[in-house]
Amino acid sequence: MDEESLELDVVQLSKKHNRTIFSCGNAELDRYIREQARQDSNKYCARPFVLIDKNDDTRIIGYHTLSSAIVVLTDLPSELTKKFPRYPIIPATLLGRLAVEQQFQGRKLGTILFMHALEQALKSSITLASAVVIVDAKDSGAVGFYKRFGFKPIMDQPLRLYKPMIDITKQFSL
């Protein structure tokens, strides 16, 4: 597929999407989309979104998942927590997984998926409070990717990063 011919869209995972051929090069992320994503969606545990080409809307080019989460207030730095009520936990949105099919890697499609995830998190925070977005990076390369967008590691959890929702609102005009 030629990059110029792609007509991209991000939609919720459905039965029509072919999950069996997805391969991003990470066995855990491949297994998730193939075997677990639909179940998580049906049980309201995670909401998988897929990046598709409208010209071949059954093929998954990439995906991300969102779900509700909590963060222990003491896991965040004091300069941030002083802005929150003194609850022991605060609501969060978890971007649990993000992957792009190997054939399409290196084309900034992960950034498209990531921006979609942040926008969806922000939209949902209007009706269901979420003070931060959390990401679970798979490795140090992914940590670098998220840091480029202003995410910071959660204390004692170098692969789990966060960004305050108030900072995310500045990226989007809703």
Measured in degrees and rounded to the nearest 5, phi and psi for residue 80 equal -90, -45
Q: How many CB atoms lie within 10 A of CB 129?
A: 13
Average pLDDT over residues 104-125: 96
Residue type, 26: N
Please tell me the predicted confidence (pLDDT) of residue 2: 52
Checking if the pLDDT of 107 tops 90, the result is: yes
pLDDT at 83: 86
The pLDDT confidence band at residue 33, using thresholds 50, 70 and 90, is: very high
| C-beta separation of 61 from 100 below 8 A | yes
* Strand 89-100 to 132-136 pairing: parallel
Tell me how far apart the alpha carbons of residues 111 and 51 are, in angstroms, rounded to a whole number: 11
% of the chain with per-residue pLDDT over 90: 86
- pLDDT score for 61: 98
Name the residue with higher pLDDT: 125 or 6: 125
pLDDT of residue 86: 85
Q: How far apart are CA 90 and CA 72, in angstroms?
A: 7
pLDDT in tens, 42-75: 999 999 999 999 999 999 999 999 999 999 999 9
For the stretch 116-173, pLDDT in tens is 999 999 999 999 999 999 999 999 999 999 999 999 999 889 999 999 999 999 988 7
**Which option is the CATH number for 3-169: 3.40.630.30, 3.40.50.300, 1.10.12.10, 1.10.10.10?**
3.40.630.30
Q: When comparing pLDDT for 63 and 4, which is higher?
A: 63
Q: Rounded mean pLDDT of the chain? A: 93
Q: What pLDDT band is residue 4 in, cutting at 50, 70 and 90?
A: low
**pLDDT at 121 (0 to 100):** 97
pTM exceeds 0.85, yes or no:
yes
